[in-house]
């Protein structure tokens, strides 16, 4: 009995969206040059850039994992449907 350890496509898509939001938020922070880390601490421009690159790499990994999972998912078999009745042909 095989155990399916893969994540569902919905979970993978949620990960992609969360990573995208993180990249956008870090991008805005880098563009605004906001060095305030909170609680009196600051972060350097180099650390901001490093965090942004890491977020981009995680986003790329999430997208690749999502696309691989979509490619491996078996296609749903097409079911043959009876032709639809047209008006006036019913008896």
What are the boundaries of each domain within the chain?
Answer: 9-72
Q: Which of 29, 69, 74, 76 is nearest to 52 (CA)?
A: 29
Look at residue 73 in the predicted model and tell me its pLDDT.
72
**pTM score, two decimals?**
0.66
6-32 mean pLDDT:
86
Contact between 19 and 58 (Cβ < 8 Å): yes
Look at residue 35 in the predicted model and tell me its pLDDT.
80
pLDDT higher than threshold 60 for residue 90: no
pLDDT, tens only, 53-76: 999 999 999 999 888 888 877 766
Look at residue 56 in the predicted model and tell me its pLDDT.
94
């Amino acid at each position: 009995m095989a155990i399916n350890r893969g994540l569902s496509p919905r979970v993978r898509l949620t990960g992609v969206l969360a990573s995208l939001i993180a990249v956008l938020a870090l991008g805005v922070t880098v563009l605004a040059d906001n060095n305030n880390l909170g609680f009196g601490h600051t972060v350097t421009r180099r650390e901001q850039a490093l965090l942004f690159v890491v977020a981009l790499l995680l986003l790329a990994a999430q997208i690749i994992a999502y696309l691989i999972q979509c490619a491996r998912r078996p296609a749903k078999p097409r079911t043959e449907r009876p032709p639809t009745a047209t008006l006036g042909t019913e008896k």
